[in-house]
Amino acid sequence: MILFKTLTLVFLMSVLTSASSIAEEKPHVHQPSIVGLNIPVDIQPLLTKEMRAIEKAMQELVSTIATGNWGKTAEIGKQIQASYIMKQSLTAEQMEHLHHSLPKQFIKLDHSFHQYAGMLAHAAEVRNIDIVNFYFYKMNDSCIQCHSSYAQKKFPGFSDFTENHNSHQSHKLIKKR
């Protein structure tokens, strides 16, 4: 069962990686702001750099989880939890300005994502594959929620996701009643 879950996870991440690679091949056009967010121009490159570092780390997690490399999995989880670039690069003034310009839901998703990374690291330290996979799923789901809410132009595959996702959520609620 664990092998099946791991292979399924590897397959899903391979698909996501392929989609990401295709998206990278498009020529980049400078946009005045990150879509859906009011990111100050001087902070946009840092956010982009952080997103790329997180994407690379998520891809690396696929391999470390699938091969049972618990030490490296925990290390990557802790790096993601510590928030790579933004905290290290922003001045206190920039951090405050950014915090006030972001929607509360974006901040909540970001906080959850980093918290899940810490939980993944802990699960890797105790070698609990089921919990590692669970938190990897939660991290990936946080990415999807954020991209579908705030970056639909960058990720057009999510253009109808919110509507479909909400329908799915309603379906879940109906089934629970």
pLDDT (0 to 100) of residue 160: 74
pLDDT (0 to 100) of residue 161: 60
pLDDT (0 to 100) of residue 71: 98
Q: Which residue has the tokens 């996702």?
A: 165
**Reduced 3-state DSSP string for 111-141:** HHHHHHHHHHHHHHHCCCHHHHHHHHHHHHH
pLDDT (0 to 100) of residue 58: 97
pLDDT (0 to 100) of residue 1: 55
Per-residue pLDDT of the chain (177 residues; tens, 9 = 90+): 554 444 344 434 443 444 444 444 443 333 334 556 778 888 888 888 889 999 999 999 999 999 999 999 999 999 999 875 666 778 888 888 887 888 889 889 999 999 999 999 999 999 999 999 999 999 999 999 999 988 888 888 888 765 545 444 544 434 444
Beta carbons within 8 Å of 8's beta carbon, 6+ residues apart? none
Please give the radius of gyration of the chain, using alpha carbons only, rounded to the nearest integer.
Answer: 17
Q: 119, 135 in Cβ contact below 8 A?
A: yes
Question: Which sequence spans correspond to the domains of the chain?
Answer: 38-153
CA atoms within 13 A on the CB side of 98: 21
pLDDT (0 to 100) of residue 84: 59
pLDDT (0 to 100) of residue 19: 43
pLDDT (0 to 100) of residue 73: 98
pLDDT (0 to 100) of residue 66: 97
pTM comes to 0.70
CATH architecture of 38-153: Up-down Bundle (1.20)
Distance, in Å, from the CA atom of 55 to the CA atom of 49, rounded to the nearest integer, reads 10
